[in-house]
Amino acid sequence: MTPTADIIRGVCEGSIRAIARALSLVENGSPDSADILDKLFSRQQGFTLGITGPPGAGKSTLVSRMITRYRSADNSVGVIAVDPSSPFTGGALLGDRIRMQSHATDSRVFIRSMGSRGHLGGLSGATRDASCVLSAAGYSPVLIETVGVGQAEVEVADLADITLLVLVPGLGDDVQSMKAGIMEIGDIIVLNKADRNGIDQLESYVKASLEFMPPGLKKPEVVRISAVTGEGLEDLWNAINRLVAAQSGIDRRSRSAVKTLNDILQENGLIFSEKLLELEYNGREAAEELILAGQLSPYAIGKKLLERAERMFEHNGSK
Ligand SMILES: Nc1nc2c(ncn2[C@@H]2O[C@H](COP(=O)(O)OP(=O)(O)OP(=O)(O)O)[C@@H](O)[C@H]2O)c(=O)[nH]1
Ligand SMILES: [Mg+2]
């Protein structure tokens, strides 16, 4: 048996060593990673929960609370802490390790930090692939914490099935809400540090801003919490559960199939991807159906199209 096959089997059996190995391979974009992800893609289960917001908003504190809550409901929980400003990858960043250390000895909690290095698909590609590994290993939800409210974070937030946008009093309304479109990131807007002054003001401000959301978009629910005291956490938990219940597993899988296929084609630099999809699979829709049926993964399709493109170029070159 090849080492890759061992890793894949280990991940599916929930072996911590195999999961850590698989994560390192996919984060670094190793040549074996496409094979690993190909086999794991259809084994993903459960859902991903994104937690994003400005620096210091209390995201890690909230993540730690969420871990406790999900563990008490007997879920295994994966955590990916994404820091676009850090070149480091693997292991856990010091701050996160401290804030989440109460979970460090729990074998059903897997925490991984991600920096900006190495992956062809950038940070969001690396996060997507790491999330695939954790999800296939049986962790649900996979919590994805991202710092900031810029483009990189929007992309990461877009990966998650449900995203919490965490805002706090006093960080400057311009940073938090005035940025065009920032409110649209969140399925739920979490107003954290409700134990602090300024929370009422923040809530009125956020609610007023939501009035300006483009028509047709679903308005996010606004929930007040204090990640430190625990106030409001049960309301947040209920709001998340309502959203999870409203999405079907098939909706989640089909959204993920479409998005992952798009991303992979882009990462492989396949500029004529529509034409190639037509030639190889009778078009994009048919390819997406194969993914949904569990017959092919987006990774396998990317590889196949790349090979086809290479053959076409060789053929032209040899004329
Ligand atoms: N008063 C108060 N402080 C809080 C609350 N939640 C978090 N904090 C504090 O805010 C600080 C930052 O919390 P973190 O959880 O590290 O925030 P973060 O958003 O993960 O920070 P980065 O990952 O660095 O962006 C810590 O000192 C927390 O103790 C809260 O509800 N109330
Ligand atoms: Mg943090």
Domain ranges, ordered by start, for the chain: 45-247, 250-317
Please state, in angstroms and rounded to a whole number, the distance separating the CA atoms of residues 26 and 128: 10
Cα–ligand 1 centroid distance for 227 (angstroms):
8
Please indicate whether residue 266 or residue 151 has the higher confidence score (pLDDT). Answer: 266
The DSSP symbol for 101 reads G
Q: Which of 51, 54, 61 is nearest to 228 (CA)?
A: 61
- Nearest atom within ligand 1 for CA of residue 227: 31
Q: How far apart are the first and last CA of the chain?
A: 41
Cα–ligand 1 centroid distance for 118 (angstroms):
29
For residue 18, give every residue at least 6 positions away whose Cβ sits within 8 Å of its Cβ, in sequence order, or none.
6, 7, 9, 10, 11
pLDDT digits (tens, 9 = 90+) for 272-284: 889 999 999 999 9
Please state, in angstroms and rounded to a whole number, the distance separating the CA atoms of residues 309 and 42: 25
For residue 16, pLDDT beyond 90:
yes
Res 27: pLDDT: 87
Res 64: pLDDT: 93
Q: Which two tokens stand for residue 1?
A: 């048996």
Please state, in angstroms and rounded to a whole number, the distance separating the CA atoms of residues 109 and 228: 21
Please state, in angstroms and rounded to a whole number, the distance separating the CA atoms of residues 292 and 253: 7
CB 74 within 8 A of CB 50: no
Work out the number of other CB atoms within 10 angstroms of the CB of residue 7: 24
Residue 232 CA: which ligand is closest? 1
Q: Which of 212, 208, 209, 239 is nearest to 223 (CA)?
A: 239
For residue 119, pLDDT beyond 70:
yes
Cα–ligand 1 centroid distance for 24 (angstroms):
28
For residue 168, pLDDT beyond 80:
yes
- Tell me, using a 6 A CB cutoff, whether residue 86 lines ligand 1: no
The number of CA neighbours under 13 Å toward the Cβ of 70 is 27
Question: pLDDT class for 100, splitting at 50, 70, 90?
Answer: low
Strand 162-167 with 48-53, pairing: parallel
- Tell me, using a 6 A CB cutoff, whether residue 273 lines ligand 1: no
- Nearest atom within ligand 1 for CA of residue 192: 31
Percent of the chain past pLDDT 90, that is, above it, reads 57
pLDDT digits (tens, 9 = 90+) for 121-141: 778 889 999 999 999 999 999
Please state, in angstroms and rounded to a whole number, the distance separating the CA atoms of residues 293 and 291: 5
Work out the number of other CB atoms within 10 angstroms of the CB of residue 225: 26
- Tell me, using a 6 A CB cutoff, whether residue 192 lines ligand 1: yes
Work out the number of other CB atoms within 10 angstroms of the CB of residue 149: 23
Ligand 1 atom 7: residue of nearest CA: 58
For residue 184, pLDDT beyond 60:
yes
Residue in 51, 60, 144 to alter for ligand 1 test, most ligand atoms within 8 A of Cβ: 60
Ligand 1 atom 1: residue of nearest CA: 193
- Angle of helix 284-292 relative to helix 273-281, nearest 10 degrees, comes to 60
Fold of 45-247: Rossmann fold (3.40.50)
Residue in 61, 153, 225 to alter for ligand 1 test, most ligand atoms within 8 A of Cβ: 61
Least confident of 92-96, 264-268, 279-283, 312-316: 92-96
- Tell me, using a 6 A CB cutoff, whether residue 55 lines ligand 1: yes
The residue type at 235? D
- Give the chain's mean pLDDT: 86
Cα–ligand 2 centroid distance for 203 (angstroms):
22
CB 257 within 8 A of CB 288: yes
- Nearest atom within ligand 1 for CA of residue 62: 15
Ligand 1 atom 10: residue of nearest CA: 58
Residue 61 CA: which ligand is closest? 1
Please state, in angstroms and rounded to a whole number, the distance separating the CA atoms of residues 202 and 204: 6
Question: pLDDT class for 317, splitting at 50, 70, 90?
Answer: low
Ligand 1 atom 9: residue of nearest CA: 58
For residue 269, pLDDT beyond 70:
yes
For residue 43, give every residue at least 6 positions away whose Cβ sits within 8 Å of its Cβ, in sequence order, or none.
12, 135, 136
Q: Which two tokens stand for residue 318?
A: 């040899």
Res 182: pLDDT: 72
Least confident of 101-105, 227-231, 235-239: 101-105
Q: How far is CA 62 from CA 24, 53, 154, 171, 250, in A?
A: 26, 12, 19, 17, 28
